[in-house]
Amino acid sequence: MSAALRSCVAASWEMCALTLLAAFHASAGWASENEAALCLSSDENECVSGGHTCDANARCGNIIGSYFCQCYQGFNGDGHSCFDIDECVVNNGRCEHNCTNEPGSYSCQCASGYQLDPDRHSCTDVDECVRLNGTCEHICINIRGSFHCSCRPGYQLHIDGHTCVGICCMHKRELSKHDVYDLCVSVCGFVYIDIDECKLQNGGCSHTCTNSPGGHTCRCPPPLLLDIDNLNCRSKFDYRVDITVFYATSCKLRNGGCDHMCTVRAEGHVQCSCQAGWQLDEDARSCVGESSCSLPALYY
């Protein structure tokens, strides 16, 4: 080792670096590469050994005899103390909608109904109607940031905002059953689903039940006649073992058609009877007194 290099190594690291640099510039052959490597390899790397004071948000760079600190991108400071830069403060971070500050960085988000563009700053409207018609039953209309559903003529949007209901059938309580059926088919184009009442306990009819759109009708085979309750069939006279029976099924409706007393028999028919001093007339309902005068109906 040359005397100059021994002096260099013994001196400070800064002196060593300056001496070698001057020597190489003055004479390329003054110091050999091995001698230069010896000087350089004797330097302590504070960035590796931990002998530095750089901030956690800074990088440490080794130099001969020392080191330097530099804050990472997104932070400000001298390297020994670094603080986060809030990019959202300036021009909203160039975000079109929402800007969120993050340690050393930031990110852009879009409002509901929009999606972030590849530039990570701009926002584009999402057409919800493209996917599953926006869940609308009939018509989907896209608007900026959202969408809404609409219905075809004759229908009204349900409170759920997606389903469509026939207008005529929404107001069926204000119409007769037959009117509702006719309107739904001819005007609204809505198929009114009729319930066949005859399938449930024969529609309450004692004999024949005939279903009709929105209702039903009870009919009687000849010579029976339909009673005033429009459910039961009766004949003018009906005797069974000398006991007069009127073919109604309930005493609740106009006392079963009886003038005086009404009783429902075990087989489900109504039997009329009279108070003391009266007798049942030929129609099996009216009561006639001893004077043969008919008693006016008490329940009409």
> Which CATH number is 267's domain given?
2.10.25.10
Q: CA neighbours within 13 Å on the CB side: how many for 185?
A: 11
- Which of the residues in the chain have pLDDT under 70? 1-42, 168-194, 214, 236-249, 267-268, 290-300
Indicate the number of domains in the chain. 2
38 belongs to a structural domain: yes
284 belongs to a structural domain: yes
> Which pairing describes strands 146-150 and 139-143: parallel, antiparallel, or unpaired?
antiparallel
> Residue 194 has what pLDDT?
62
Q: What CA–CA distance (Å, rounded) separates 85 from 57? A: 12
281 belongs to a structural domain: yes
Of 285, 232, 241, nearest in space to 263 by CA:
285
> Residue 271 has what pLDDT?
85
Q: What CA–CA distance (Å, rounded) separates 114 from 123? A: 6
83 belongs to a structural domain: no
121 belongs to a structural domain: no
Residues 6+ apart with CB under 8 A from 82: 55, 56, 57, 58, 71, 72, 75, 76
Task: Please give the residue range of the domain that contains residue 18.
Answer: 3-43
Of 203, 182, 206, nearest in space to 192 by CA:
182
76 belongs to a structural domain: no
Q: Which residues pair with 127 in a beta bridge?
A: none
274 belongs to a structural domain: yes
187 belongs to a structural domain: no
294 and 260 Cβ atoms separated by less than 8 Å: no
pTM: 0.39
Using the structure block, give the residue that is written with the tokens 């018509």: 139
> Residue 137 has what pLDDT?
94
